[in-house]
Amino acid sequence: MRILATESELGKVSKTIIDFIKEYQIIAFRGDLGAGKTTLIKNMCNLLGVIDNVSSPTFSIVNEYESGEELKVFHFDFYRLESEEEAFDLGIEDYFYSGNLCLIEWPSKIESLLPEKRLEIHISIAGEGREFIINKMN
């Protein structure tokens, strides 16, 4: 699925992705620096009723958020990860198979650890907005 959107239309994109979370709890966000991965995740968390401050976990690697719907959201940013071994040390498999929502920035850093069943969101700059390509992986 391909969606072109400006920043003011981000809610529509977030809603489309959220509609998939009953089937896909692992969502990998791919895009260059500045493409809008964190902005999209913040918007999604807002729609999910997250009551915590949503920010990029660049240095902590993972942030945990609570939502009003009793949903736990784990937000990962693997940009600074040196090796997949570091992800194992975090207990990444426990997060991925917890049944909670896992939103992953820079999934290429842990490619071989990603569950086969996941949603892939590719974000690229397109003129004044962004292009979002959503792929179901099984």
Per residue in 19-42, pLDDT (tens digit) is: 999 899 999 999 999 899 999 999
d(CA 76, CA 55): 10
CA 73/CA 126 separation, integer angstroms: 29
Question: What is the reported pTM?
Answer: 0.93
Kindly give, in sequence order, each residue whose CB lies less than 8 Å from that of residue 59, ignoring residues fewer than 6 positions away.
Answer: 80
CA end-to-end distance (rounded Å), the chain: 16
Please report where in the chains the tokens 């949903």 appear, as a residue: 71
**Residue 51 carries which side chain, given as an amino acid letter?**
I
Per-residue HEC secondary structure of 68-113 comes to CCCCEEEEEECCCCCCHHHHHHHCHHHHHCCCCEEEEECHHHHHHH
> For 86-115, what is each residue's pLDDT tens digit?
999 999 999 999 999 999 999 999 999 999
Instruction: List, in sequence order, every residue forming a beta bridge with 73; answer none if it has no partner.
Output: 65, 101
| 117 and 99 Cβ atoms separated by less than 8 Å | no
In order of their start, the domains of the chain are 2-137 (3.40.50.300)
